[in-house]
Amino acid sequence: MNKLEVQNISKHYGRKKALDGFDFIFTDGIYGLLGPNGAGKTTLMNIITTNLKPDKDGGKILWNGEETRLLKEEFRSQLGFMPQQQNLYDNMTAFDFLGYMAALKKLDRKKAHDEIRELLKKVELEDCAEKKIGGFSGGMKQRVLIASAMLGNPRLLIMDEPTAGLDPKQRVIIKRLVSEMSKEMIVIISTHIISDIENIAKNILLLRNGKIIDSGTVSELTDKITEGEKNLENLYMHYYGGE
């Protein structure tokens, strides 16, 4: 069982507070982060992945009981991250890009070769393995990034808008893949496509102004809706309205 403890983490950008004493414990399973733009979701993900430093206010992040800032590379080797921005090398083939990412993660070359083939198959890009990424559609690039995040069998997988640009069929494939992998890892997903997490999330966190305003299972949260159908779409409208 993996355990990620985010303890009293805050982050300011000038006078703007992006995170305000965020505090939560994650264990194996899928967690959905919901909230309008500016709620603090991406900032939280970038701090957990060590791409961004929090304010120096005494807060800390623990991975299986040890501070991530002290674990450094040991923690990062157990981490898979899919950022919202598509940072890809258009002149590389899909296979070469994933091979490059595997090398950065210091994965065994032979094992990585086999794993890349398997991941490309899972995200339905095996027929495009030797094609250059520059000719890919936005949805295809998104699937390359998903495969990259899953390289090395991470114990903590963080995904920022993973299904943006994918058609409904592709979203179902990715949702099934993530659900299967989540049995032995923590998966944190930020998304505006609420249906992608409604049936697979262990827990939903609702954020506003860098704080958790509510959290719980889908059924626990939707039971709070007094009018209309009890689903996450209506829950979102219940908390955020037109935000």
| 103 in a structural domain | no
196 contact partners, CB below 8 Å, separation of at least 6: 162, 163, 171, 174, 175, 189
The boundaries of the domain holding residue 220 are: 1-78+155-165+191-243
DSSP annotation of 154 reads: -
- Residue 58 is assigned to a structural domain of this protein: yes
Say yes or no to pLDDT of 87 above 80. Answer: no
Q: Is residue 104 part of a domain?
A: no
Q: Per-residue confidence at 242, pLDDT binned at 50, 70, 90?
A: low
Q: Does some domain include residue 181? A: no
209 occurs within a structural domain: yes
Task: List C-alpha distances in Å: 129 to 99, 138, 165.
Answer: 11, 16, 20
Please tell me the predicted confidence (pLDDT) of residue 135. 94
pTM, entire model: 0.92
CB neighbour list of residue 62: distance below 8 Å, 6 or more residues apart = 3, 4, 5, 7, 68
Domain count, the chain: 1
Contact of 123 with 164, CB cutoff 8 Å: no
Tens of pLDDT, residue by residue over 165-224, are 788 888 888 888 888 878 889 999 998 888 889 889 999 999 999 999 999 999 999 998
* pLDDT tens, residue by residue, 6-33: 999 999 998 899 999 999 999 999 999 9
CATH number at residue 4: 3.40.50.300
